[in-house]
Amino acid sequence: MNSTGSPRDSRPTQLLAATTRRLAAAGITSAAAEARALLASVVDGELILAPGLDADQRARLDDRIAERLAGAPLQHVLGVMPFCHLELISDARALIARPETELLAAAAITELQRLAELQRLAELQGPAASRSADDSLLAIDLGTGSGALALALVTSIDHLQVIAVDIDDDALALAADNVACYRDVLAERGSSVRLHRADLRDLHLADLAISAGAHIVVANPPYLPDGENPPSDVTRDPSRALFGGGADGMDLPRASLQTAARLLRPGGLALVEHHDSQGPAMRAAATAAGLIEPATHRDLAGRDRFASARARFTPEPISGKIEP
């Protein structure tokens, strides 16, 4: 007998209830939602309208339930993870993209939309004001991991170039797989993602073969303090993607701001995710790196979640400060 229900009853509604009970008994707090996601992954179409599962579907469902009960993250069991408007490949090669980071992505997209509108208005003034190749919008994603942030930006903005940087070969391979999934979307928008292997702590414009600085630098670096027990939902993420270095976990977040200061063009915006204890330290680090307008932004739970700061304007500032 299959563990998800009687062999005589393979109706999705019955299996949904049985799977929910099993997940809840194992202490999974979002048991109903996860049961629905697991069942939907083996059923074509709407669950309520689907016919009874065949033997192959039942076997795949049982295997996926067993993986989840063994502690595998739901995203790895399903092989996909949602992020912003995207569905990305998810596996053990890189950190699982999480909802908190979508707030940073939204702030970055808002900034890029603002810049794109400024460019459009400049072009309306005549050919002399049209953008050159050096003026094309450029974003850099430090520690790209799965490519989630880079893809959220590049699939939202026309004519955007993104350079996605990571030191880990496995992460870059996953990012390449995700970029390939959105190749047609990028072609339609006239946008691109270039993957680059490098240590974010020692990265300069010359390393990226670009003549002008970036309009925006985003980063979701490892930031857990040494010795902190990771939350239960991230224990299966690669440890190299979790700990930021140092007792306060600030080594890599601080380095992200220092590198952003080198890579940004005047007035360019840096957005860096961090631990909820690091808000004041990140503002201080931004100032120490020579950036201006440091600010802390909170997540939906009210916790400090990412920092913003700008490269100094020369000679005149352009309005567009992101308010905390």
State pLDDT tens for residues 79-127: 999 999 999 999 999 999 999 999 999 999 999 999 999 988 888 886 6
Could you give the percent of the chain with pLDDT greater than 90?
75
Q: What is the pTM of this model?
A: 0.89
Cβ-contact 204, 262 below 8 angstroms: yes
- Whole-number Å distance between alpha carbons of 302 and 296: 11
Summarised one tens digit per residue, pLDDT across range 269-287 is: 999 999 999 999 999 999 9
Confidence of residue 1 (pLDDT cuts 50, 70, 90): very low
